[in-house]
Structure 1
Amino acid sequence: MDKETWSRRRFIGQAGIGVATAMTAGALESLAGVTLTYPNDGKLALLGGKAIREGKSWPAWPHVDDNVISKIVETTKSGKWSRIQSAQGTVATFEKAFSGLIGSDFCVATGSGTQALSTCVEALNIGPGDEVITSPYTDFGTISAILTSRALPVLVDLDSESFQLDPDEVEKHITPNTKAIMPVHIMGLPANMERIMAIAKKHGLLVIEDACQAPFSRYQGKPVGVIGDLGCFSFQASKAIACGEGGAVVGNNQAMMEECFTVQNRGASRAGKNERIGPKYRMNEFEGAILMGQLDEAKSRFETRDANAKYLSEKLMAIPGLTPQKQYEGTESGSYYNYAMKYDSEEFGGVDRAQFLKAIQAEGVPFTSYIREGLHRAPWVDTILNQQVYKRFYTEQRLRSYRESMNLPKCDEITDRTLVAFWGSAVLLGGREDMDDIVNAVTKVYENRSSLKSV
């Protein structure tokens, strides 16, 4: 984009937002309508200038206050540290409270989000010889949960604008052995559940939602996590609701949820009968205490993050070369574990993503590339293909075609060139001045993009 076009777009953007066009010494109006004050001549911090956020800090996360501490002390003094010691303990209390907040009929707490996903796979009797379609762009816990039951995780390519599973690719990879689809609500925004549920219904498949990053997100009038057959959440320390490690399975089908309870309780049902295969995935009472200590404010924090993300999207959409993550029709709100964007190096004058990230980070704004490579490029693929259990339950032809299917160009484009993001759990709890700093940093880097090409 040439200088004249940029100036025209900038003026139109200002006029549309109602920003005064008068200029003052040392100050400019950003395209997004946020007053941008440049120290001195506006030199990039990477090149020796003063950073936009010099001397400022972001909100701390996880949040610790007297309420959280008192819950831990109370649990310690009680001597009831395992959920099996009390039917009214912190874990059981949390399960009831969380299902009420999420909007599910039932909840079973686990020791992590990965354990929650693994519980679902096992509870739905998915095992050797079966296939589960899921995303290559996720934490390895998603894949690990499928591998733990010795099923085959089938990875398919993404929508390059939403970073979510492409439903067309999902349908192409369904085989007679496919038992379930595991969509990942990556970054905390809903996947294309309308299409995914339609595909699942057409082919008679189960749907396990990996909503580990997405508590309270809503899509087409429904909370994420209860759209499919089962949904899973994570309470790891970086998540929007945190207890160090922890997770939960939610659902509305009582029979399925009872199977989930039995699986996570090392195969023992609520009646105390040892009924099936199951690891011990129980959440402990200290994790339940920490969660109960912050649950009262969890929804309001979600609303703060969602409102700040919406504000950022409105502003950043006006800046060339940085497009907020695409949201599917019917998306009402997002948890924003990460706030993600698609970076276009051409709009930034040919500056590659790595150099852009260095420039933004120098301004005090913590953009990263997030996941550095898709899981289809990780060593686990060759590991399982050489294991006897997979050779026994999958034909040689199927394993060969599986290896050949690990060519996912859109995912590669996202990880290698286009995605930039920042951690939302903490940053999006900031005030509007903090959000304006993000917009200002992007604008400053854009307006000085030509100086980056020689660095």
Structure 2
Amino acid sequence: MKSKKVTRRSFLSTISASTVAVAATGAGISGFTPVFGNSRDTADKLAVLGGSPVRGNKKWQNWPQWDAEKFNPKMNEVMANRVWSRSHKVAEFEKKWAEMHGSKHCLSTVNGTNALSAAWMQSNIGPGDEVICSPYTFSASIFGILYKGAMPVFADIDPATFQIDPEQIKKKITPRTKGILPVHICGYPSDMPAIMKIAREHNLFVVEDACQAHLAEIGGKKVGTFGNAGCFSFQASKNLPIGEGGGILTDDTEYYDRLYSYHNFGYASGSVSGQISSITALILANKIRMAEYQAVIGLCQMEKLEEQHKIRNENGAYLNEKLSAYPGITPVKLHKGATAASYYIYAMVYNQDKLDGLPRKRFIEALNAEGIPVGTGYPNDPLYAQPMLQEVFKSDIYKKFYTTDDLNFEKYKQKNHCPALIQTFNSALWIWHGGLMLGSKSDMDDIINAVDKIHNNVAKLK
């Protein structure tokens, strides 16, 4: 259909008799006018009830992807050279990743978790300090904060964008606040201009968790380049998949030198100067270097990343436009100023009241049966309530620098409770499959038609 809107009369005149019967008996959503992806009849019996799925036997694109004919010779070359530890290929990867983002420096690491940890380990934050964090994330986001003995403080999210709310950040600032950890969850950008304004006003260190947000932008500026550091993951599911791998972007040369030294046994590097020796460590450090073969995989994947990013955003915009017409599901919004998401995950907000009380679990079952891989995202287990933190609070360093009241875990959970986060746990829909957002318009139409099919059969699902 060429028109984005379809009148009730034209809708009924163009579909099958079975659909007319469904509409007449009230099986669909009362008063709702659907917007098809490709004008197909979606009044068929739902797959979850024994009908044929919208996707049939079609498969989504495989992920991760590897062009063996093109890329195997590059991998074979580095393996044959037998220089497998960090060398020229890692340096080349770092240079290209920094250039792609318009950043001065990139330091690669073995994985994204270590990138995040290193970024905090080389900050000036320590025991007794507080870091304001997004609660809608994976536990690895805050490991480095805990390694430094600092206290994570959680500011609630905007449930429409899934991102940490700058207004909630302001409410959590105390004289002990020294940093902010925004997380560009699902590949949607956090409101970095607003967050950096707060950071400048209070002299706060900012580490962006951009592990899911490759090439996402705000005003044409890439996420990961707003804060003091921006951290990325190249784990196998990510938009730039290496298998394992991580990277840290920064424009601060002195900080970069410390990061480089830290990831390489604490040896001398730039401003971290001293007697250069293969056995002399100048700072307490780690060994988290990326290997040459990791870098080769990353360089190969980088060749097509920008083209894939464009496709993901075109498909994301198409789905946003079409799916926003359906009651009960609302595509996650980009905040004002954001110019591109990464669409690592295509996310929506579910409202069962607008779908005649259809439970989210039943909606998910029906959509999965039609061949659309959708789930709830992170389980209903707030990071600020996880046992890991309680164990950390029992450690000697936390007992030394924090009061008994600070370390009372029940009080900590109450103090950090985030109502919008809990709301999101109970309403989020994640379409998560690495190759899905690289599909054709026909693939996107399958998603739309599957949603439409459910809307036409809500009464039968309940």
- TM-score normalised over the length of structure 2: 0.90
**1:14 is the counterpart of 2:23:** no
Partner of 2:108: helix, strand, or coil?
A: strand
Where does residue 65 of structure 2 map in the other structure? Answer: 63
Where does residue 7 of structure 1 map in the other structure? Answer: none
Where does residue 132 of structure 1 map in the other structure? Answer: 131
- Letter of the 2:422 counterpart: D
CA shift for structure 1 position 378: 1.7
Where does residue 407 of structure 2 map in the other structure? Answer: 399
Instruction: Tell me how far apart the structure 2 counterparts of residues 12 and 241 of structure 1 sit (CA, whole Å).
Output: 34
Where does residue 179 of structure 1 map in the other structure? Answer: 178
**1:79 is the counterpart of 2:82:** yes
Q: How does 1:49-198 map to 2 (within 5 A)?
A: 49-66=51-68, 67-83=70-86, 86=87, 89-198=88-197
Partner of 2:237: helix, strand, or coil?
A: coil
Q: How does 1:219-238 map to 2 (within 5 A)?
A: 219-238=218-237
| Residues 366-411 of structure 1: per-residue CA shift (max 9 Å, x gap) | 0110111221232112212222221111122322353432322211
Q: Is the 8 A contact 1:128 1:150 kept in 2?
A: yes
Instruction: Tell me how far apart the structure 1 counterparts of residues 72 and 302 of structure 2 sit (CA, whole Å).
Output: 13
Match of 1:47 among 43, 46, 49: 49
Instruction: Tell me how far apart the structure 2 counterparts of residues 344 and 104 of structure 1 sit (CA, whole Å).
Output: 40
| Residues 246-277 of structure 1: per-residue CA shift (max 9 Å, x gap) | 01000112112112111212222326463212
Distance 1:349 1:280, change over 3 A: same
Distance 1:128 1:339, change over 3 A: same
Where does residue 309 of structure 1 map in the other structure? Answer: 316
Match of 2:371 among 359, 364, 367: 364
Instruction: Tell me how far apart the structure 2 counterparts of residues 414 and 260 of structure 1 sit (CA, whole Å).
Output: 35
- Letter of the 1:110 counterpart: T
Instruction: Tell me how far apart the structure 1 counterparts of residues 18 and 148 of structure 2 sit (CA, whole Å).
Output: 59
Match of 2:14 among 17, 23, 34: 23
Instruction: Tell me how far apart the structure 2 counterparts of residues 307 and 77 of structure 1 sit (CA, whole Å).
Output: 40
Where does residue 25 of structure 2 map in the other structure? Answer: none
**1:283 is the counterpart of 2:296:** no
Where does residue 6 of structure 1 map in the other structure? Answer: none
Q: Is the 8 A contact 1:132 1:179 kept in 2?
A: yes
Instruction: Tell me how far apart the structure 1 counterparts of residues 152 and 200 of structure 2 sit (CA, whole Å).
Output: 20
Q: How does 1:325-336 map to 2 (within 5 A)?
A: 325-336=332-343
| Residues 102-126 of structure 1: per-residue CA shift (max 9 Å, x gap) | 2111111011111111111011132
Q: Is the 8 A contact 1:28 1:36 kept in 2?
A: no
**1:346 is the counterpart of 2:349:** no
- Letter of the 1:62 counterpart: P
Instruction: Tell me how far apart the structure 2 counterparts of residues 36 and 366 of structure 1 sit (CA, whole Å).
Output: 22
CA shift for structure 1 position 145: 2.6
Partner of 2:161: helix, strand, or coil?
A: coil
Partner of 1:197: helix, strand, or coil?
A: helix
Partner of 2:358: helix, strand, or coil?
A: coil
Match of 1:377 among 382, 385, 406: 385
- Letter of the 1:420 counterpart: L
Where does residue 5 of structure 1 map in the other structure? Answer: none
Where does residue 420 of structure 1 map in the other structure? Answer: 429
Out of 188-197 and 378-387, give the one that drifted further: 378-387
Partner of 1:326: helix, strand, or coil?
A: coil
Instruction: Tell me how far apart the structure 2 counterparts of residues 419 and 187 of structure 1 sit (CA, whole Å).
Output: 11
Q: Is the 8 A contact 1:26 1:38 kept in 2?
A: no
Name stretches of at least 5 consecutive residues in structure 1 with no aligned partner.
1-10
CA shift for structure 1 position 24: 4.4
Where does residue 454 of structure 2 map in the other structure? Answer: 445
- Letter of the 1:319 counterpart: Y
- Letter of the 2:14 counterpart: M
Instruction: Tell me how far apart the structure 1 counterparts of residues 136 and 297 of structure 2 sit (CA, whole Å).
Output: 30
- TM-score normalised over the length of structure 1: 0.91
CA shift for structure 1 position 291: 0.6
CA shift for structure 1 position 191: 0.5
Q: Is the 8 A contact 1:108 1:261 kept in 2?
A: yes
Instruction: Tell me how far apart the structure 2 counterparts of residues 12 and 111 of structure 1 sit (CA, whole Å).
Output: 47
Where does residue 32 of structure 1 map in the other structure? Answer: 35
How many residues in Structure 1 have an aligned counterpart in Structure 2?
435
CA shift for structure 1 position 424: 5.1
Partner of 1:124: helix, strand, or coil?
A: coil
- Letter of the 1:68 counterpart: F
Q: Is the 8 A contact 2:345 2:431 kept in 1?
A: yes
Instruction: Tell me how far apart the structure 2 counterparts of residues 153 and 265 of structure 1 sit (CA, whole Å).
Output: 27
Q: Is the 8 A contact 2:373 2:433 kept in 1?
A: no
| Residues 273-302 of structure 1: per-residue CA shift (max 9 Å, x gap) | 632121111111111011112211111111
| Residues 120-172 of structure 1: per-residue CA shift (max 9 Å, x gap) | 10111322222211112112110223222232222221111111111122121
Partner of 2:434: helix, strand, or coil?
A: helix
Q: Is the 8 A contact 2:6 2:34 kept in 1?
A: yes
Instruction: Tell me how far apart the structure 2 counterparts of residues 267 and 138 of structure 1 sit (CA, whole Å).
Output: 30
Instruction: Tell me how far apart the structure 1 counterparts of residues 313 and 61 of structure 2 sit (CA, whole Å).
Output: 16
